[in-house]
Structure 1
Amino acid sequence: MRIDAHQHFWAPARGDYGWMVASPALAPIRRDFLPADYESFRRRYNIERTVLVQAAPSIEETEYMLGLADATPWIAKVVGWVDFEDRLHRRHLERWARHGKFSGVRPMIQDIADPDWMLRPDVQWGYDAICALDLTFDALGFPRHLGNFRRLFDRYPKMRIVIDHCLKPEIRSGAFEPWAAGIAEIAAKTPVYCKLSGLATEAKADWTVDTLRPYAEHVIRSFGPDRVIWGSDWPVVNLAGGFDLWRDAAVKIVGQADAARIFGHNAAGFYRIG
């Protein structure tokens, strides 16, 4: 089974994508992207299932995505959002946990000014609920969050966790450390997974396969081919060359020996896609 484990759909007129209107550079993706727009990639690459990931910090967007999933057979799972600063939002997790296509949540940690937010006592109920309800947690952040993510992962060893976008290494500036050491430590000492996604967006516009290769290969080497999951990050990837260019680069880097696992099998296991 071929799976795109990280893609988005959105309709900006819904009004809860604040990040999308913050920069003129995002104009190319500031329009509707819906299942019909993804069909050409599904056919071209024989992608059988996808994981639809939140892009707005609102309950309403998660409901919107679950509606799309109900109407679209190939959307296998939805990663939504709840407000970790509001304990009453546990009721949403309990309700969604009964939906066959709901997988878990992703707080938008990369957009939170306080790097210690994830460790605050008042948000711990969220992780407890994720564990109790057997849901997933997508970890979205930057290299500056490495230390705190390690502490969080150690605190909740039973939580099913995947790191999004390789934790966004600073490819544009050519920085490799301390990201590489931090990623290797997390891979060696925790059971978390890592998404091979988002790398092109962190590089300069003229990136090549060789630009991304050291970072991607370090992730695969650190986590091993059984804990790496490919995602397109479409349509965000349109800002960095597009779906086809990123898919081609990932295929060349991964190689045939590990392709079945990284481009499908691992995502099926982690997200429990039948």
Structure 2
Amino acid sequence: MQIDAHQHYWNPERGDYGWLTPDLAPLYRTFGPDDLAPLRERAGVSRTVVVQAAATVGETRYLLDLAREEASIAGVVGWVPMLDADAPALIAELAHEPKFKGVRPMLQDLPDDNWIANPALKPAVDALIAHDLAFDALIFTRHIDALATFIERFPTLRVVIDHGAKPPIRDGNAGCDAWAEGITRLAQYPHVHCKLSGLATEAAQGWTETTLRPYVDHLLAVFGPQRLMWGSDWPVLNLNGDYLLWHSVATQLLAALSEDERTGVFGGNATAFYRL
């Protein structure tokens, strides 16, 4: 069973997607399961992990409502106010939802790059660990030092790096050494995984398999196929690609792996990591 480990559903009329404006014309409409279904079916993807796109509990509940009615949604990664005093109680409540699998603060959008290193996050993280939930880290290279502090503080928390930590692909060699060194550092922690997703969005238009290969090869080298999981990042992917193209290119980029390793990257690893 192939699983898309990272995609989104949203409805702009809900009014809490601060980043989603009419300027992003390809994305500024409702995207739901019926929109993704024909693409999933053509790619052979059976189920998905839906990830939050708004920093509100309301959107998390919206996604869980969708998940109750949609069999293809295997899990939901939501948002909670992790520094609030009632965060542990909220996490405990959400954990009663069978498809609630983890949380994601939108680290890339926060004004403080060191937010994730705040020791005051401990009560919320302890609640995640107690309820066997995961943590998605949406970061750039500049967040790696702070995230490493967080990872070392909570060695039993399952952590996955979204979008390969967004390598600066469109900038050519600028910044790539720092990214490569940083992602290598994070991969040294055995409880940290990484999503093979979002790379097309970081590339210039007209990207190809050749464009993305150095980044995918590096992620494979440092994490190994056992800690990588494929995700589409659809519909954000539509800004610079499409579902079937990215699935096809990823398949080519992983062609040298064994069948078992490819099966892991395209589904088995996500199943184990998220407890799907």
TM range (shorter): over 0.9
Instruction: State the shift of 1:190 in Å.
Output: 3.5
- The superposition leaves residues 108-143 of structure 1 with CA deviations (integer Å, 9 ceiling, x where unpaired) of 000001111111233332222211221100011101
Match of 1:243 in 2: 243
> Contact 2:9–2:31 (CA<8 Å) still a contact in 1?
yes
For residue 148 of structure 1, the aligned residue among 146, 150, 161 is 146
Instruction: Give structure 1 stretches of 5+ with no counterpart.
Output: none
CA RMSD of aligned residues (A): 1.2
The residue aligned with 1:75 is 73
Paired residue type of 1:7: Q
Query: Which shifted more, 6-15 or 171-180?
Result: 171-180
Unaligned runs of 5+ in 2: none
- Corresponding residue of 1:264: 267
2:19 counterpart residue number: 19
Superimposed CA distance per residue, residues 159-182 of structure 1 (whole angstroms, 9 cap, x where no aligned partner): 011110001011110132111011
Corresponding residue to 2:161 among 160, 163, 177: 163
Q: Is the 8 A contact 1:194 1:228 kept in 2?
A: yes
Give the Cα–Cα distance (whole angstroms) in 2 for the partners of residues 185 and 63 of structure 1. Answer: 35
Look up the match of 2:202. Answer: 202
SS in 2 for 1:50: strand
> Is the Cα–Cα contact under 8 Å of residues 153 and 190 in structure 1 kept in the other structure?
no
In 2, are the aligned partners of 1:104 and 1:137 still within 8 Å (CA)?
Answer: yes
- Residue 90 of structure 1 is matched in structure 2 by 88
Cα deviation, residue 17, structure 1: 0.3
CA contact (8 A) 1:172 1:204 kept: yes
Which portions of structure 1, spanning 4 or more consecutive aligned residues, are displaced by more than 3 angstroms? none
Q: Tell me which of 60, 63, 66 is aligned to 1:65.
A: 63
Counterpart Cα distance in 1 of 2:61 and 2:130 = 22
Cα distance in 1 for partners of 2:117, 2:150 equals 7
Deviations 1:42-64 (A, max 9, x none): 21122111101000000010100
SS at the partner of 2:263? helix
Contact map agreement 1:66 1:101 (CA 8 A) in 2: yes
Match of 1:232 in 2: 232
Structure 1 segment 164-179 matched on structure 2, within 5 A: 164-174=162-172, 175=174, 176-179=176-179
Q: Secondary structure at the match of 2:45?
A: coil
Q: Name the counterpart of 1:180.
A: 180
Residue 154 of structure 1 contacts residue 190 of structure 1 at CA under 8 Å; is this kept in 2?
no
Give the match's secondary structure for 1:20. Answer: coil
Tell me the matched-pair count: 271
CA positional deviation for 1:214: 0.4
